[in-house]
């Protein structure tokens, strides 16, 4: 089969013929129809993000495809089923604290790296091998829709955070990082889950205006000034009442003070979930005041990715019409243009934009 291979950090992807994946018990082989190219893929492949993805490796984080072959222990999954290939692979030998790897993307800890030795190669290929439970049926779709369904890879991340926050219909949500790729997805998912109002802070006025245009007056935009006290006051004033929940999903480059300003808008008894990358590149700690957390009975928790059942639940929101994949503009590339796709994703990444590889396509770049 053909695949795009990362031979070394800092080197371009090499599209070449590689051995077909070999199925084992508890696994499935999926024909990749569309694979998302994340906006920061160039930072991963250059080594700037220091991800544990030892080359040579076929990268690619998630895919939409059709099942080619299933193992002998599959009881429901069938050849031909349309599936989302969930890149979040969990070890099966510890139900309480499983090691986790993002297939074709990264691993954490010694156990995660051992898991990565087997579930190593990702979706920048004509076929991918995944654990059976990671080939999750999404129901029949037209092949032309596969690129839009790649938005699940983005939408699932904030969905995991909002599930962890126990967001309830009718509540007011603040999305810290609302103008970013994952933050704008959090806005869409929060509304689909029934948030009555979403406070959307950011510095990009055009994106804030676009969020209001897309979703209406349930969005309360806030232009950030960079002054912590001023921004906290502005965010609090923008809400129609107490802010029940804060989701932070800001990238590593942002100062921790921006996060603190947002988190400390939450009401007494409220919840804050941290999903971003702030602090990963150094800088000051978040430094939330102990007395404020304790006296106000505030719950602060971290969340990485999403629970195993999230894919099916999110797909149900799409099928119901509550979450519109059509909000995303999709630009697709054939596999032999993988490097062009990575460059395009870096240059155009942002709210409601997707760059997608079509491994089975030999056509020129186009928009789906």
* Domains with residue ranges and CATH for the chain: 2-140+328-367 (3.90.180.10), 155-302 (3.40.50.720)
176 neighbors 262 (Cβ within 8 angstroms): yes
Averaged pLDDT of the chain = 94
Handedness of CA 33, 38, 41, 42 (dihedral sign): positive
Report residue 364's pLDDT band, with 50, 70 and 90 as the boundaries. very low
29 neighbors 128 (Cβ within 8 angstroms): yes
Q: DSSP string covering 195-214, please?
A: -SEEEEEES-HHHHHHHHHH
Closest by CA to 86, choosing from 17, 40, 155, 143, is 155
* Per-residue model confidence as pLDDT tens digits over 214-227: 999 999 999 999 99
31 neighbors 20 (Cβ within 8 angstroms): no
Order of strands, sheet of 88-90, starting from the edge strand that comes earlier in the sequence: 88-90, 100-102, 106-107
User: Is residue 348 pLDDT above 50, yes or no?
Assistant: yes
DSSP for residue 166: T
Length of the chain: 368
65 neighbors 28 (Cβ within 8 angstroms): no
User: Is residue 35 pLDDT above 60, yes or no?
Assistant: yes
* Per-residue model confidence as pLDDT tens digits over 8-34: 999 999 999 999 999 999 999 999 999
Quick one: average pLDDT of 130-141? 97
Q: What is the pLDDT of residue 365?
A: 37
Quick one: average pLDDT of 135-156? 96
* Per-residue model confidence as pLDDT tens digits over 275-306: 998 887 788 889 999 999 999 999 999 999 99
Cα–Cα distance measured from residue 44 to residue 51, given in angstroms and rounded to the nearest whole number: 6
Which token pair is 337?
């243009």
Quick one: average pLDDT of 156-177? 98
Rounded to a whole number of angstroms, the distance between the first and last alpha carbons of the chain is 24
User: Is residue 184 pLDDT above 90, yes or no?
Assistant: yes
Which helix or strand (DSSP H or E) is residue 4 part of? strand 2-5
Among residues of the chain, what percentage have pLDDT more than 70? 98
Cα–Cα distance measured from residue 54 to residue 352, given in angstroms and rounded to the nearest whole number: 31
State how far the alpha carbon of 160 is from the alpha carbons of 53, 199, 249, 346, in Å: 23, 19, 11, 24
Q: What b/e sequence results for 33-59 when a residue is b if at least 16 CB atoms lie within 10 Å of its CB, and e otherwise? A: bbbbbbbbbbebbeeebebebeeebbb
Cα–Cα distance measured from residue 296 to residue 217, given in angstroms and rounded to the nearest whole number: 29
pTM of the model: 0.92
* Per-residue model confidence as pLDDT tens digits over 313-336: 999 999 999 999 999 999 999 999
Report residue 368's pLDDT band, with 50, 70 and 90 as the boundaries. very low
Report residue 252's pLDDT band, with 50, 70 and 90 as the boundaries. confident
* Per-residue model confidence as pLDDT tens digits over 44-62: 999 988 888 899 999 999 9
Which token pair is 37?
């190219």
The residue with greater pLDDT, 263 or 97, is 263
């Amino acid at each position: 089969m053909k695949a795009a291979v990362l031979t070394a950090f800092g080197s371009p992807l090499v599209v070449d013929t590689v051995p077909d994946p070999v199925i084992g018990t508890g696994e499935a082989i999926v024909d990749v129809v569309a694979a998302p190219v994340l906006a920061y893929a160039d930072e991963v492949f250059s080594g700037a993000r220091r991800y544990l993805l030892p080359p040579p490796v076929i990268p690619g984080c998630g895919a939409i495809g059709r099942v080619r072959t299933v193992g002998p222990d599959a009881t429901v999954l069938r050849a031909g089923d349309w599936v989302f290939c969930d890149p979040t692979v969990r070890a099966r030998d510890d139900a309480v604290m499983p090691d986790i790897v993002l297939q074709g993307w990264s691993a954490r800890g010694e156990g995660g790296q051992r898991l990565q030795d087997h579930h190593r190669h990702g979706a920048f290929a004509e076929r991918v091998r995944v654990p059976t439970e990671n080939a999750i049926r999404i129901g029949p779709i037209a092949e032309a829709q596969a690129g839009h369904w790649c938005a699940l890879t983005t939408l699932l991340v904030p969905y995991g955070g909002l599930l962890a926050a126990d967001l309830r219909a009718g509540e007011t949500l603040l999305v810290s990082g609302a103008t970013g790729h994952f933050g704008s997805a959090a806005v869409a998912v929060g509304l689909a889950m029934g948030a009555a109002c979403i406070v959307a802070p950011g510095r990009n006025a055009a994106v804030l205006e676009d969020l209001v245009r897309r979703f209406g007056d349930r969005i309360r935009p806030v232009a950030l000034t960079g002054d912590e006290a001023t921004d906290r006051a502005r965010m609090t004033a923008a809400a129609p009442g107490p802010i029940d929940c804060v989701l932070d999903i800001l990238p590593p480059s942002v100062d921790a003070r921006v996060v603190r300003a947002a988190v400390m808008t939450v009401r007494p008894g409220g919840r804050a979930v941290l999903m971003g990358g702030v602090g990963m590149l150094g800088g000051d700690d978040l430094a939330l005041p102990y007395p404020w957390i304790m006296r106000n009975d505030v719950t602060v928790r971290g969340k990485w990715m999403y629970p195993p059942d999230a894919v099916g639940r999110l797909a149900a929101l799409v099928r119901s019409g509550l979450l519109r994949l059509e909000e995303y503009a999709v630009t697709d590339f054939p596999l032999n243009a993988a490097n062009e796709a990575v460059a395009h994703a870096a240059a155009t990444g942002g709210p409601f934009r997707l760059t997608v590889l079509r491994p089975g396509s030999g056509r020129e770049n186009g928009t789906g």
